[in-house]
Structure 1
Amino acid sequence: MQDLVTVFGGSGFLGSQVVRALAKQGLRVRVAVRQPHLAHTMRLLGDVGQIEVVQANVRNEASVQRALAGAQGCVNLVGLLYETGRQKFQSVHTMGARNIAAQAKAAGLKSLVQVSAIGADANSEAKYARTKGMGEAAVREAFPDAVIIRPSIIFGQGDGFFNKFGEMAVISPVLPLIGGGKTRFQPVFVGDVAKAIAKAVTDPACAGKTYELGGAAVVSFKEVMEIINAQTGRARLLMPLPMPVAGLIGKLCEIVTLTPVAPPLTSDQVELLKTDNVVTGAYPGLSDLGITATTLEAVLPTYMYRFRRGGQYADETERMVAA
C-alpha cells in the first residue's frame, strides 16, 4: 500500500467512483462522511484494510483534523444541490471548503483537490454557484497549490439528472422545457471525472491548476428532454416553461417539500439554468489529463432502460405485443 488519501464526502454518487479509482492505484483511502454507519459498503471497493470509513463534518474543525491525520493528500467532494436545516450552501461550499484547506495545509498534506462546478462565480445570482466560487477562493487562499476541478453535469448510474427526468417521464405526460429549453450542458461521465480527480491528487504536475471537465458533446435542455424520450421509449410532450413561472414553481416546491425528500425544483436551480453549463476553453480539461471523454450514447442505455415499459425486457415485451 502507498500513501493515504482522505476523501471527504466519499460515499456519494461521485465519491464511490473516486474511492474506487484511488484504490485501483494501490492507495490507502480514508472515506470521511457525516454518517459512517450508512457508508459501510465503501470498504468493498478495495482490498481488505485498504479503505476505512470515519466520521467527519466539514464544518467541525476537530473532526476534519482527525480525518486528515496521517494523510498525504485529500479530496473534498462535499456539496449540496439544495439547502435543508443546518446544511446551507454558505456553510458547506464556502466555510467547509475553507476549513478543509486550512487544516490540510496545517497538517502538511502534499495535495488537495477541491471539486467545484462549471459556472462557479463569487458574483453569481445563484447561491449554489456563488458559494462554490467563494469556496474556490477560500481554498486558493489557504492552500495555493490546491487543484480545482469544475465538472459540468455528471452522468452515470445513480446520477441525479438523467434519472430525475427519467422518473418524471414515467409518471408525467409532459416534460418541461425551462426557459424554452435553450440552456446548454456538456454532460461528463462520472467515471471520467473520478479518473481526473485521482490523477489530480497524485500528480504534482497538476498542483495549483484549475480544470474544467466537459463531456464529448454539448446538448441543449431541449435535446436532453428528447434524449429522455428516446431512452425511456415514451413520447412525452415537451412543454416550454418560462423562467419566471419556473422560478415560482421552485419557490413553492421549497415551501411544501419535507426534508429529507429532495424538491423536484428550486428557485436557485432555475437561476442556474439562466447560464450555459459548458467548458469555457480558458482552462485545461479531460484531454490534458490524458482522458478521452465517454459519450452519452455509450452509457445512458446501461441504466436508463429501467424507465422503459418492461424495463430490461423492454425489447422482448415490444416484440410480444407486436406479435
Structure 2
Amino acid sequence: MTVDTGKTVVVFGGSGFLGRYVTQALAKRGHRVRIACRRPDLAYHVLTAGNIGAILPIQANLRYPWSVERAVKGADHVVNLVGILAESGKQTFSGLQAEGARLIAEAARAEGVNMTQISAIGADEGSNSKYARTKAAGEKAVHAARPDAYILRPSIVFGPEDEFFNRFAEMSRFSPVLPLLGGGKTKFQPIYVVDVAEAVAKTVDNEVAGGTVYELGGPEVLSFRQLMEEMLRVINRKRRFVSIPFSLAGSMAQFAQYVPGAPLTPDQVKQLQNDNVVSEEAIADGRTLDAFGIRPRTVDSILPTYLVRFRPQGQFTRPTRHAGGLDAENQDGLT
C-alpha cells in the first residue's frame, strides 16, 4: 500500500485520456487526487488508481467560477489538463482553453497554491489556428496569475486510449486508402502518455524549476507518413496512401465539419501545416524532457501493446516486416 503524503492535488480534466495517467502517477506517489470534471460519474474508472478513498471525483464546470473555486478549496497543487480538439456547442476553444485556464489560475492564486498547465507545442498568439491561439492565451493567463506556474507543452501524445493511432487503425480496417494531408510531410515528436504523466507528477513535487515553459517530445522525430507506416506495420495491414493538398483538405473539412463525428476540422488542417516538434530554443535552454530525468519510450515499443486488436486476426496475427503503406500508384500486395 502506498504511503499517504497528505498532499491534495486537484486535477481538472482528470477523467480524460491524459487525466487517468496523471491520476495514476500522483496516486502512486501517495498523493490524494481530487478529479474536477463536469460529470463525476465519468471519472469512476480512475478510482482504482490509488488507495481506497484517495481519489475523489468532484463536479466542476469552467463556465461557473464558483464551482472552480470550490474544487480548488483546500488543495496543495492544481493541475489543468482541460483541452479540446474541436469545438462543440458551448465547449469552445476560448471558453475552455483561454478563459477556463484563467479561472483555474486565479482560483489557485486565491488559495495560495501553485499549478501545472498542460498546453501544446505550437501554442502561438499569432497562429492562424484558433486552437493554437487559445492555448497561448491560456498560458499567458496562467503566468499572469501564477508567475511560478509550470507550463508543459507536449507534442502529440499517444497511448492505449489516444485519438490518433486508434482512429487511423480503425479507419484502416474498412478503408483501402489512408489520406496524407500535404503529402504526409508534417513532422511530429510523439510522446508516450505515461511519460507526460510522470513529468506532471514531478512538477507537483517541485522536482523541476517553476515559472518555465517546457516542451515535451519523444525520442524520435517522425513525419505523418512515417507514423502511418509504423501503425500499419504493427497492425499487419497494407493500405494505399493518397496525398491530399492542404488547400483541398481545408475545403473538404469546411463542409465536413457540419457532419456529426467529422474526422477533421478546418482548424485541424491549419495545425497540420506546421511541424509539431520541440524547438531548438527549448533544447538549448534545457526546457525539455531531459530536465525531468525521464527516458521517453519509443513509438515502436508501445504501439504493439494496444494496437494488436486491429490486426486481421487480433493478437493471433504475427506481424510481418512487409506490412505498411503504399503510394496510390503502387497497388501491389494489398490485403
Quick check: 1:8–1:75 contact (8 Å CA) kept in 2? Answer: yes
1:163 partner letter: N
2:189 partner letter: Q
2:18 partner letter: L
Counterpart check, 1:16 vs 2:15: no
3-state SS in 2 of match to 1:223: helix
3-state SS in 2 of match to 1:238: strand
1:287 Cα offset (Å): 1.2
Which residue number in structure 1 is paired with residue 274 of structure 2? 275
Quick check: 1:56–1:67 contact (8 Å CA) kept in 2? Answer: yes
Which residue number in structure 2 is paired with residue 208 of structure 1? 211
Larger helix share, 1 or 2:
1
1:251 Cα offset (Å): 1.5
Tell me the distance in 2 between the aligned counterparts of 1:286 and 1:139: 21
3-state SS in 2 of match to 1:175: strand
1:209 partner letter: T
Quick check: 2:155–2:188 contact (8 Å CA) kept in 1? Answer: yes
Which residue number in structure 1 is paired with residue 122 of structure 2? 119
CA pair 256-205 structure 1, distance change in 2 beyond 3 A? closer
1:275 Cα offset (Å): 0.3
Quick check: 2:256–2:265 contact (8 Å CA) kept in 1? Answer: yes
Which residue number in structure 1 is paired with residue 87 of structure 2? 83
Which residue number in structure 2 is paired with residue 46 of structure 1? 50
1:273 partner letter: L
Counterpart check, 1:66 vs 2:70: yes
**1:144-293 mapped onto 2 (5 Å cutoff):** 144-203=147-206, 205-257=208-260, 262-283=261-282, 284-293=287-296
Counterpart check, 1:311 vs 2:310: no
Gaps of 5+ in 1: 317-323
1:38 Cα offset (Å): 1.6
Gaps of 5+ in 2: 320-335
Tell me the distance in 1 between the aligned counterparts of 2:169 and 2:206: 38
Tell me the distance in 2 between the aligned counterparts of 1:58 and 1:202: 25
Q: C-alpha offsets along residues 213-263 of structure 1, whole Å, 9 cap, x if unaligned?
A: 000100001111211221221110011001011111211221122xxxx42
Quick check: 1:150–1:211 contact (8 Å CA) kept in 2? Answer: yes
1:44 partner letter: T
Quick check: 1:175–1:238 contact (8 Å CA) kept in 2? Answer: yes
Which residue number in structure 2 is paired with residue 129 of structure 1? 132
Quick check: 1:59–1:99 contact (8 Å CA) kept in 2? Answer: no
3-state SS in 1 of match to 2:307: helix
1:59 Cα offset (Å): 2.4
Detail structure 1 runs of 4+ shifted over 6 Å in the superposition: none
1:204 Cα offset (Å): 6.0
- Worse-matched range after superposition: 36-45 or 291-300: 36-45
Which residue number in structure 2 is paired with residue 102 of structure 1? 106
Tell me the distance in 1 between the aligned counterparts of 2:318 and 2:298: 23
Quick check: 1:225–1:238 contact (8 Å CA) kept in 2? Answer: no
Q: What root-mean-square deviation, in Å, do the aligned CA atoms of Structure 1 and Structure 2 show?
A: 1.1
Quick check: 1:184–1:277 contact (8 Å CA) kept in 2? Answer: yes
Aligned residue pair count? 311
Q: C-alpha offsets along residues 46-90 of structure 1, whole Å, 9 cap, x if unaligned?
A: 001111010001221100011001101010000011000000000
1:219 partner letter: L
1:73 partner letter: H
Counterpart check, 1:36 vs 2:40: yes
Q: TM-score, normalised by structure 1?
A: 0.94
1:40 Cα offset (Å): 1.5
